[in-house]
Amino acid sequence: MDAGVQERLDDFIRRKGLRRTGQRDMIIKSVFSQDDHFTAEELFDRVRKSSSDISRATVYRTLGLLVEADLLREIDLGENQTTYDPNFLDKPSHNHLVCIDCGRVLEFEDAQIDLLNDSVTRRLGFRPVRQTLKIEASCEQLRLNGRCTNLIASRLTGKRLRKKR
Amino acid sequence: MDAGVQERLDDFIRRKGLRRTGQRDMIIKSVFSQDDHFTAEELFDRVRKSSSDISRATVYRTLGLLVEADLLREIDLGENQTTYDPNFLDKPSHNHLVCIDCGRVLEFEDAQIDLLNDSVTRRLGFRPVRQTLKIEASCEQLRLNGRCTNLIASRLTGKRLRKKR
DNA sequence: GTTATTGCAAATGATTTGCACAAGG
DNA sequence: CCTTGTGCAAATCATTTGCAATAAC
């Protein structure tokens, strides 16, 4: 876990007159112990494994806190559950590419995209605050070779292959 | 309403072995009679005004149909309700700018952005299918003048000024 | 001691669904 | 007719919330 996280959260907590608790510490450790995207429910399961005295409500409430403190970000992957992305601390303006064949999500940064979007925003008479780019795309691998390692991998792990509906 | 809509839907319906019904016709007319974004519930209210024998369930089911037929698109404006955008027929690759001060949503097209995103996608080894760019920004007007006509307008109309939460 | 935090279970709210009846082709 | 579509009400399911007990500071 990035050393700065705990510190930044402490700042936030102090500034808002809130309190540091054991539950919050555990949840934060779990959130930032890895860099996969996750849902509230997935996090709840993960957290439960280390200590069972953390309730679902506290998980939801702490997630809200982390988002408010800008340590964690909600992203839209087209699911009906909110997905959380813990990687904005390291890569403050990364984007997401979602493969419509295998459901895999890639993160990428691109300074040119950022610049272009900023300039468009200014041209419209606004000051840019945040931008969210999601690219849905299909595997060249799958199209050219008739198979895609990610597709196979996700079948093995039982992950969902496509959006619902 | 764009003349092509009904036709395109008829095609879709025929291809899938479905049926054209009075309710679907009414809903489609309502959806494409204007170009504002809307939620399922808002559409339900609108549709109810012209004919009261359309149920909420049918509205939801027809929305699903229109999305599947690619006549209508779901967009994410950060609300807890799905928002629908009827303007992708006219502007197939437009983007959204959401003002965090007044909540107003602007649509804009930009060929450069499209090209750049496509090229990034290819560089990552994928074939681009669809891209979604949402820019959150703040009013220059508000910052410079201390007021923003949109902000005032949205106060008058009682629209929400900021995201929830 | 105060006040924020937690766990629990109940409440919420958007969306979906089962089923009997109605209607399109 | 035969099958799809509809309305209704009940069911789902993620998320939120009221409240009494608990723990920060």
For the CA of A28 and the C1' of D22, the distance in angstroms is 21
pLDDT in tens, chain A (165 residues): 777 888 999 999 999 999 999 999 999 999 999 999 999 999 999 999 887 789 999 999 999 999 999 999 999 998 889 999 999 999 999 999 999 888 889 999 999 999 999 999 999 999 999 999 999 999 887 778 777 776 666 655 444 333 332
Chain B neighbors of A140, CB-CB under 8 A: 125-127
Contact between B9 and B62 under an 8 Å Cβ cutoff? The reply is: no
- A19: DSSP letter: -
Q: Which two structure tokens, joined as six digits, stand for A161?
A: 């292959």
For the CA of A80 and the C1' of D20, the distance in angstroms is 33
User: Which residue places its CA closest to the C1' of nucleotide D9?
Assistant: B57
Chain A neighbors of B139, CB-CB under 8 A: 125-127
- Give pLDDT, residue A149: 72
Q: Give the pTM.
A: 0.89
Evaluate if residue B18 carries a pLDDT over 50.
yes
> What CATH code would you report for B91-165?
3.30.1490.190
Domain with CATH 3.30.1490.190 in chain A: 91-165
- Tens of pLDDT along B88-138? 999 999 999 999 888 889 999 999 999 999 999 999 999 999 999 999 999
B19 touches strand C (CB under 7 A): yes
Closest CA to A150 of A161, A136, A135: A161
- Tell me how far apart the alpha carbons of residues A29 and A72 are, in angstroms, rounded to a whole number: 13
Domain with CATH 1.10.10.10 in chain B: 1-89
- Tell me how far apart the alpha carbons of residues B5 and B1 are, in angstroms, rounded to a whole number: 8
The torsion region of residue A62 among left (phi > 0), alpha (psi -120 to 50) and beta comes to alpha
- CATH architecture of the domain with range A1-89: Orthogonal Bundle (1.10)
